[in-house]
A and B are shown apart, each in its own frame.
Chain A
């Protein structure tokens, strides 16, 4: 069974008395270690799909199996645990807590998981080193550049060693060169075996993915796979 299995997913939003089908009869499966770009125009349901995959939202119909487990029927607390341990989020606007330092931001998932401070420090120190942020450990987000902020965010997303990284326009707020750095960073993580799912407008970034899901009006329009680059 694939790592991620969506079948017959429906997500309906009510706007006044009209219903909007954000996702309609969506079925897709993603294998472990895949690099998937979700693309499409605004309002095509990309973000809704990502939220569903990240268990931040529930479908109105259909099932979602993550690593063979039906996660749509889990209680909110069980879903929180899945998010904590299996999923890492990277956002367009970084979403760092402004009053916490880079190191503390990275440590947030470890803190929420109740990991002992000693181990926490060791893992944060390792992450800071891995992402080239050692000298920035005690800086607050407003003292960091955009690229550094996103690196902190990625470090935070990977600190719990998740199985899936969900990135929503990770380069959307960055200039071209830092955007490329961040893209490389994510691809390196993918190369180490983590499933990477990126929502993007950017055709360049989308073009780098080995698999592209093209969406329109809540439907999967195209599922393009490329053979792994030689």
Chain B
């Protein structure tokens, strides 16, 4: 909740550097996505293969978005 509020109404202030803002927002999203997967979706108790698939999805999605943004 705090991450959402910070991302939405904090980092979007014009005084925050756009690159810092965007990378911070995407990293906060990745952490939130991982928390939803492992705690809400209960992947923390799931077989390791499913945990690995979820981790790879979050890591690759976040890496691709940030990489293209920085190019």
Q: Do A and B bind each other?
A: no
Write the residues of chain A forming the contact surface with B, with a CB cutoff of 8 angstroms.
none
Write the residues of chain B forming the contact surface with A, with a CB cutoff of 8 angstroms.
none
